[in-house]
Amino acid sequence: MKILEPVFKPLLIKPYHQYREKLLNSLINNKSKNYILIKAPSGYGKSITFSMYFNTLNEQKVWISCPQNYFDFDTFLNHLIYILFKTINLKIFEDNSQNTISFFTEEEKVVELLNGFSSYTKEIFIFVDSFENVVFEGKNENLLKLLLNFIPQNVHFLFTTNQEFPIPLTKFAMANNVYTIQEEELKFSFDELKNYISTKKINLSEDNLLELYQLTDGIPTFINILSTYIETIDLKKYDALIDSAKKIDEYINLLTEALSEDLREYLKVFSLMNEIEPKICKAYFNLKSDEKIHESFEKLYDLNMIEKKDPHYYYMNEIFRRTISKGIGEREKIQIYQTLFNIYQKEQDYYGQFHCLLNMKDLEKVYDFFLNHSELLIKDFSIIKKWLDLIPTSFFSNNIELYYYRGVIEEKYSMFDEALSDYRLVKDNIHKISNKSILENIDTQIIGIYWHQEKYEKVIEMGNELLKSIPNENYQSLTSLYNLLGTSYSYLSKLDEGKLYLNKAMELCERFNYTEMKPWLLNNLAYNIFLIEGNLESAEKYFVKSLKSFEDSKDLYGKALLNANLTDFYIETQKYDKAKEHLKAFENIYLETKNIAYLPVLKILQAKLEVEKNELNSAQKSLMEAENYSSRSKFLQANYYFVQSLYLLKKDELKESFSTVEKAIKIAKTIFNEYQILNFELQKVRLLIHLKQFEKALSHIGKIIQIATEGKAKLILTEALLLKLFLSKSFNLSSYNEDLKTFNELLSDNNYQFILQKYPEITSSIEDLIKINSGVKIPSLDASFKLRFEASPEISYLESKKALYPKIYLFGEFRLVCGDKVLTMRKVRNQKALELFKFLTLNYDQWIIQDLIIENFWPNLPFEKSRQSLYVALHDIRKRFQEFGLVEEYILQKNKNYKFNVNKVYYLDYEDFILHFEEGNKSFKNKQYLKAKEHYLKAKKLYSYGLLPSNIYDDWAIPKIEDAEKSYLSILAILYSLEKEKDIEMAENYLDEYLRIEPFADEMNIEYINLLLKKGERKKALDYYKYINELYKKELGTAFNSKEISYFVKEFQIY
């Protein structure tokens, strides 16, 4: 027995090899299975994939490559026993020498192998490459069955083969103990192709890459042959690649020369067919037997000359097709196409007939055929686009109808300006057109372009005018127009009108059985009405019905749209497997049509799915690929920024995420209706919570709830209430119980439980409250994503009292102190200059535009005069600083924007207040109560009797004054909570001060009465209750209600 040492080495993985991440992950996920099989023809990278997997494993492992014409089953066993001992010291026989091993029979070797495996406790992975080369005779198949049947759980066999496995693996598969990778999975994805090409010295455009992918069909060997060829020659023109690729031609010709004459004849005909159907081939070759044609097909399939789509359709790889068809003379080609055309004609296959006519190159015949069957043929818009692109301009000029159809195709490629130009040309030459369909639809098509350009007011204006001239019997034009009007009204937030017109269109479809328009209406009702209403069951049902209709009619554009919509729908509803399935279908259409307009949609959806699944590295790559194409429309831009914001949030880059969603909202407001924008607004609120800007979050969530309630947008309302419940917990809001009740009803009535998983960090923070109050079962949450509140900057204090720098006090009376000099309001002549200075310091952390300053301080002056007044005020401020001995510039100016210079030494009590407040909140959140109290007391001391009390009626100051007051009330409430069990008198002082500022705080009034009761001051508690009740009635028109306090009053009066 001779042992071949080279067979024990896997393939060496080179830097240029494409890393098969998805395949390797699937192998790793199925690592526990005892049998893993890769079955595919040669050229699919089976050995490379296994070699990569071999390198990732840290467990005990061995490799055997089975060479052709050398291994029988006995030789295979000899090599297996030898390498097991040599690599992992697993002794099968006492003496594992080559001579000893060869002494035993195959039966004995199998039994001893099983004995050896049973005594070995570690995991063993046995890789067997090219197992089809092992020759089995007689009993050997039973011995293989014996070996595989009785291996222990810790032994794993991994095989590659290009043939059927010698024994059935059904039994193992039923036990879920087999994992098989087929050829489709081994093909490169388009992304893998792009990544592979990027490692080469090749510069190809997206269009070229799509062409290359189509040529190679993703098969690794072909990709490698072509890319190597491109890399090694000085390729001037990509289109000439295949024609000049002599090496590839020679390689394929060598393969075909070895075939029988009849198979070569089959290949000739196949190379000229669009789709290879057995029944068409049977008719072409005039064969009587199905068995004969099936046998020929299978031979060519086994030789990888043709590929199988399903049992009824085959296709030839584009590289084979081009090479083989080049060897056919023009006259013979025409004869073949004519014969095929006659067969397709009998079969009433219009696509097949059109394909033949195109290749017979009779332009007039093609044109006439197209006009007769345009309604059907134009659905395969990629083929029609290729044909239209090849037609001479002179032919267009004599056949105006072609401009109309080119416009239809351009619409599908999002070339709206070009489509509008073609439609207008048709409109200007309408007298030259006799086609009734074009005459009826041209106006609607033009309005449709304005719809695509998001000019919805214009659509409504033109559409309502056109309605007057369309007769009732022209149901097709009416249906299209109702659809455009319905969706336009919807986008303008007029849902009732939108629903009305869409339902009118649907009624016409049902009445006249207008199947072509029905799927569009199903989609539009789902997207524009049901999704907004939160009727997810109807939305999904309509989307799926629409997709089925588009698939039945072979409308690629409709299929693409619906797969994209369903992908997004399933991402939003957390059904990631279904989302992945539809995303893959969308990608296949993109690759088939090579429509660049689909690329940004594909990448944005891909990134969104990857973000939700926490695949952030992949999401980053997808977003980068989408970036260059997202500017094609506002719709794409808004969605791109939205998904980028989701990504940045997961990356914990909160400020960047917030600014990104602000961009998304700004763009979205120009194209989406007010309900669709709410989804963007929810992301903004979510980020405000992460950034601890609870007051702003509460303000925004209130507006969202109001709009969602008015529009009966149940899903958005439920999501908004979840976020509000978190805020209610933080602020102890009185509306909490009512909100929770509404939330629970919406959640259970509409099957919205996935919302809890959509916001895992929010749900986990109030999980107990939801469980206790509603009994809702909380689903499994993503524990990796939590609220990580952004740390406040370190609070710094200026210790040097000798340094000359300004100290600015905005709380209490305004003061500017510098050394021993003090500037107060009474010492300023130019009051506007002082007010401007306060405004800039109040907004110390941002640039203020000139127009905003003028609007606040000189609103009634002419622009030039107001601008001059601004310059005078700035001059006065700088002059006064110089008088104080401050030579540094404290007011910055850039491009008509102004800002207080925070890069110089200064002290600002307002900034100090904010920092102490935020630091206190941080410590309180971390249960560092003494430290929190220390910061809160410092902030309380700074507050004095309020922020800028002399400016409480000035519009420019009111928002900051109110924010500061809210912060101060929050401080008093927390200080009260910290002291009420320790120092009841101090706690009462905090409550007193709180209620002096905000006497209508229900919860704090209840706390105050309870505190008085706790102190035994019942009379004082009753007097306070009477006082506050009268105050509520007088100022709010309603009594102060509290079941708890009412019970006390009743009890006290009885007592």
Q: Whole-angstrom Cα distance, residue 747 to residue 897?
A: 48
As a whole number, mean pLDDT of residues 772-780 equals 57
As a whole number, mean pLDDT of residues 520-526 equals 94
As a whole number, mean pLDDT of residues 361-385 equals 85
User: Which token pair is 631?
Assistant: 């500017």
Q: What is the pLDDT of residue 706?
A: 92
Greatest mean pLDDT among 430-434, 693-697, 736-740 lies in 430-434
As a whole number, mean pLDDT of residues 378-395 equals 82
> Exposure string (b/e) for 535-549, b if CB count within 10 Å is 16 or more?
bbeebbebbebbbeb
**Closest among 321, 324, 323 to 355, alpha carbons compared:** 321
Q: What is the pLDDT of residues 857-894, one digit of tens each?
A: 998 888 889 988 998 888 888 888 777 777 667 888 88
As a whole number, mean pLDDT of residues 246-263 equals 70
Identify the band that residue 789 occupies on the pLDDT scale cut at 50, 70 and 90.
very low
Specify the higher pLDDT residue, 971 or 890: 971
Q: What is the pLDDT of residues 613-664, one digit of tens each?
A: 999 999 998 998 888 778 778 889 999 999 999 999 998 888 889 989 998 9
As a whole number, mean pLDDT of residues 191-220 equals 80
* Residue 284 pLDDT exceeds 60: yes
As a whole number, mean pLDDT of residues 47-60 equals 92
Q: What is the pLDDT of residue 877?
A: 85
* Residue 5 pLDDT exceeds 50: yes
What are phi and psi for residue 975, nearest 5 degrees?
-60, -40
* Residue 732 pLDDT exceeds 80: no
* Residue 230 pLDDT exceeds 90: no
Q: What is the pLDDT of residues 655-671, one digit of tens each?
A: 889 989 998 998 888 88
Q: Note whether 565 and 608 are within 8 A (CB).
A: no
Q: What is the pLDDT of residues 74-103, one digit of tens each?
A: 889 989 998 998 899 888 876 655 555 667
Neighbouring C-alpha atoms within 13 Å toward the C-beta of 118: 10
All structural domains of the chain, each given as residue ranges with its CATH number in brackets, are 5-186 (3.40.50.300), 205-382 (no CATH), 703-774 (no CATH), 807-907 (1.10.10.10)
Greatest mean pLDDT among 256-260, 390-394, 520-524, 980-984 lies in 520-524
Neighbouring C-alpha atoms within 13 Å toward the C-beta of 831: 6
Radius of gyration in angstroms for the set of CA atoms belonging to the chain, rounded to a whole number? 38
Q: Note whether 228 and 58 are within 8 A (CB).
A: no
Angle formed at CA 739 by CA 735 and CA 743, multiple of 5 degrees:
175
Q: What is the pLDDT of residues 803-855, one digit of tens each?
A: 467 889 999 878 888 877 777 655 556 788 888 999 999 998 889 999 899 99
Identify the band that residue 796 occupies on the pLDDT scale cut at 50, 70 and 90.
very low
- DSSP codes of every residue in 882-920: HHTT--S--EEEETTEEEE-TTS--EEHHHHHHHHHHHH
As a whole number, mean pLDDT of residues 206-229 equals 78
Q: Whole-angstrom Cα distance, residue 1047 to residue 1053?
A: 10
Which amino acid makes up residue 51?
Answer: S
Q: What is the pLDDT of residue 168?
A: 84
As a whole number, mean pLDDT of residues 396-422 equals 88
- 3 state DSSP class of 722: helix
Q: What is the pLDDT of residue 238?
A: 52
Q: What is the pLDDT of residue 780?
A: 63
Q: Whole-angstrom Cα distance, residue 816 to residue 831?
A: 14
| pTM, 2 dp | 0.54
HEC states along 108-160?
Answer: HHHHHHHHHHHCCCCCEEEEEECHHHCECCCCHHHHHHHHHHCCCCCEEEEEE
Total H helices, total E strands in the chain: 55, 14
Identify the band that residue 950 occupies on the pLDDT scale cut at 50, 70 and 90.
confident
Q: Note whether 386 and 355 are within 8 A (CB).
A: no
Give the C-alpha distances (Å, rounded to integers) separating 722 from 230, 647, 710, 717.
56, 21, 18, 9
* Residue 287 pLDDT exceeds 50: yes
DSSP code, position 827: G
Q: Note whether 39 and 162 are within 8 A (CB).
A: yes
